Amino acid sequence: MLGRLVNEELKHADPAYVWGDTLPLFRAADLRACNLECVLSDRGRPWSATPKVFHFRSDAKNIETLKRAGVGLVSLANNHVLDYEYDALIEMLGILDRSGIGRAGAGRNRDEARRPAVVECAGIRLAMIACTDNEPEWEATAERPGTFYVPIEPGEERAQDLLRSVAEASRMYDLVMVSLHWGPNWGYRPPAEHIAFGRALVEAGAAVVFGHSPHVFRGIEIYRGRAILYSAGNFIDDYAVDEIERNDESFVFAVDAEGRSVREISLYPTVIRRLQARRAGPGRARAIAAKMEALCRDLGTISRWSMAESCLKIQAPAPAERAA
């Protein structure tokens, strides 16, 4: 979230300021993706058609912040992409396109909003489909800009449409990621309907389900050799910190995929400090990782702390182990 106080900081700070000391982790990856929880634009006015408390917009020039980290894919399906109405959204679409950053989840109409973003890296073609169950009034239609809105109800027609889209993409591309901005802001454990829906997405062909919206991270499930990240938590923002549900804690999630499956996930603990993402110090990093270990264990996922790399490691079972 690069708006509000983060935007004020970026008026005079270096564009890379918000990434703190995490940039080396980003640069080590073949591809970098994130949920962009604001609109990048100099246009628009605060959304007023329906009640909304918070409006997040970042100056158009702050596209440079994404470029400094080498971000190659952004999900726009969230509850802030239309905070400054349609003009701001449409300006941002052009800014991202001119910068060569793939985008999915919002567009000038429904077809554009539901279209996967496709990139080629490390010799594979990856497709990202992005959708949200937030802000139903922002659903894109044939004539109106908006988001790819999908209720988290497997029997609902739009949910079935998403599953069909995932299945189609899995036949066309090497790896499919589904970015899902879903559910309420709080709670360390995923609702039962999220677990069922995440598994349905994997069964349809998703290799990675990238969940977000909750302000705290949730456990990771390895299901059929694929990864379901139920919530990545908050990485950059200016939000007040809850002392119980620590919304200033998260990770850089490094997913190592092979073929159509996930081989390993490395989780590098981070904290938000002074509007920056910072790698957590040794003691706090271990505490953050221990919390994630317990959440993963509840989902049947075993993880281990790597002292050498200062990260939490999750290894997916080999195919023979999955068959057993």
Name every residue whose Cβ is closer than 8 Å to that of residue 156 and which is 6 or more positions away in sequence. Answer: 150
Tens of each residue's pLDDT in the chain, 324 residues: 999 999 999 999 999 999 999 999 999 999 999 999 999 999 999 999 888 999 999 999 999 999 999 999 999 999 999 999 999 999 999 999 999 999 999 999 999 999 999 999 888 999 999 999 999 999 999 999 999 999 999 889 999 999 999 999 999 999 999 999 999 999 999 999 999 999 999 999 999 999 999 999 999 999 999 999 999 999 999 999 999 999 999 999 999 998 788 999 999 999 999 999 999 999 999 999 999 999 999 999 999 999 999 999 999 876 544 433
Q: Where are the domains of the chain?
A: 4-323
Contact between 212 and 236 under an 8 Å Cβ cutoff? The reply is: no
pLDDT at 51: 87
Structure tokens that stand for 218 in this block: 């949730």
Residues 6+ apart with CB under 8 A from 98: none
Residue-level pLDDT at 318: 60
Specify the length of the chain in residues: 324
* pLDDT computed for residue 28 by the predictor: 95
Confidence at residue 320, expressed as pLDDT on a 0 to 100 scale: 46
pTM: 0.95
**Where does residue 205 fall: left (phi above 0), alpha (psi -120 to 50 degrees), or beta otherwise?**
left
Considering only CA atoms, which of 152, 146, 145 is closest in space to residue 180? 152
Let me know: does 65 contact 11? Beta carbons within 8 Å. Answer: no
CA 279 to CA 193: how far, in whole Å? 32
* CATH level 3 topology of 4-323: Purple Acid Phosphatase; chain A, domain 2 (3.60.21)
Tell me, what's the pLDDT at 176? 97
What DSSP designation does 244 have?
S
CB 170 within 8 A of CB 206: yes
